Amino acid sequence: MRTPLIAGNWKMNGLRRDAEALARDVAAAVTASEGVEVLVCPPFVHLDAVGVVLADSGISLGAQNCADAGQGARTGEVAADMLVDMGATHVILGHSERREFYGEDDGLVAGRYRQALEAGLTPVLCVGETLSERDAGQTEAVVAGQIRGITDRLGADSLGPGVIAYEPVWAIGTGRTASAEQAQAMHAFIRAQLAGIEGESAASARRLLYGGSMKPGNAAELLAMDDVDGGLIGGASLDAGDFAAICAAATRD
Ligand code: PEP
């Protein structure tokens, strides 16, 4: 049985006081339950402050990236063990905004993934196709390639506790959501790919999140799909009420 995970990606939003207020509101609005795991991922510079607010809330803390090397000469990067030191347990990797705006490719994401695992973080690996790739019929090849981008480099058993977030790029921040059927089809495809890489048992235990304009109005339908084990939420995670409603929709008794 896979416990659903709802992860909020706060992206590059808010000053410290905003992050603290949002964390307080989320902690108050989200009903702690064993039926769902809840994670928030603020910007690096707010991890410490948000961690203080969330202490004892049952809500986990994650970062939005980590370096592909250990501490040392990597100006502007943040090492995975520094994130653990801030109280983070998870890290988002390979987000499409990183791939698009900062040129991150599968090799770099694999290096980050390895560092995250070595530090004891759970990676949330983002995969997904652009609209032109979908229109060209390349969706499955792109997504399979992004997963193999990790396992070909790090090994078939290398995903560890990692979570995979299927995020069609055309649905991120656009208000355009994949239909529940489209999401399920891709999640089933990803699980089948994983079964071929790491074996049936590891693949059936691995959590697969959907991300892309998930909000209270569409969450229940998406989360009801067999292979959708939670969500990675951008815009709606900045509103505590909306985020809590998505968490409630994911809760399994
Ligand atoms: C995201 O950035 O991971 C995301 C899913 O954003 P949004 O929910 O705003 O589409």
φ and ψ at residue 141, rounded to 5 degrees: -65, -40
Instruction: Determine the distance separating the centroid of ligand 1 and the alpha carbon of 124, expressed in angstroms.
Output: 13
Q: Based on the number of CB atoms within 10 Å of its own CB, is 221 exposed (0-12), middle (13-18) or buried (19 or more)?
A: middle
Q: Number of C-alpha atoms within 13 angstroms, CB side, residue 243?
A: 30
- Res. 138: pLDDT tops 80: yes
Query: What is the C-alpha to C-alpha distance for residues 229 and 243, in angstroms, rounded to an integer?
Result: 16
pLDDT at 83: 98
Nearest CA to ligand 1 atom 7: 234
Residue 51's beta-bridge partner residues? none
Residue 93 pLDDT > 90, yes or no? yes
Nearest 5 degrees, angle CA 64-CA 112-CA 211? 40
Q: What is the pLDDT of residue 74?
A: 98
Beta carbon of 161 within 6 Å of any ligand 1 atom: no
Which residues are part of the catalytic machinery?
Answer: 95, 167
Mean pLDDT score of the chain: 97
Does the pLDDT at position 253 exceed 70?
no
Query: 102, 88, 91, 156: which is closest to 125 by C-alpha?
Result: 91
Q: Determine contact, residues 122/39, Cβ cutoff 8 Å.
A: no
Q: 233 CB less than 6 Å from ligand 1?
A: yes
Residue range 22-31: average pLDDT? Answer: 96
Over residues 20-48, mean pLDDT: 95
Give the pLDDT confidence of 185-215 residue by residue, as tens digits: 999 999 999 999 999 999 999 999 999 999 9
Check if the beta carbon of residue 228 is closer than 8 Å to that of residue 183: yes
Model pTM score: 0.97
Q: Per-residue pLDDT averaged across 140-159, rounded?
A: 98
C-alpha distances in Å from residue 213, one per residue of 5, 8, 30, 68, 91: 16, 12, 20, 29, 20
Task: Give the Cα separation of 34 and 58 in Å (integer).
Answer: 10
Query: In ligand 1, which atom is closest to the CA atom of 231?
Result: 5
- Binned at pLDDT 50, 70 and 90, residue 32 comes out as confident
Task: Kindly list the structural domains of the chain, giving each domain's residue range(s) and its CATH number in brackets, ordered by start.
Answer: 5-249 (3.20.20.70)
- 179 burial (CB, 10 Å; 0-12 / 13-18 / 19+) is exposed
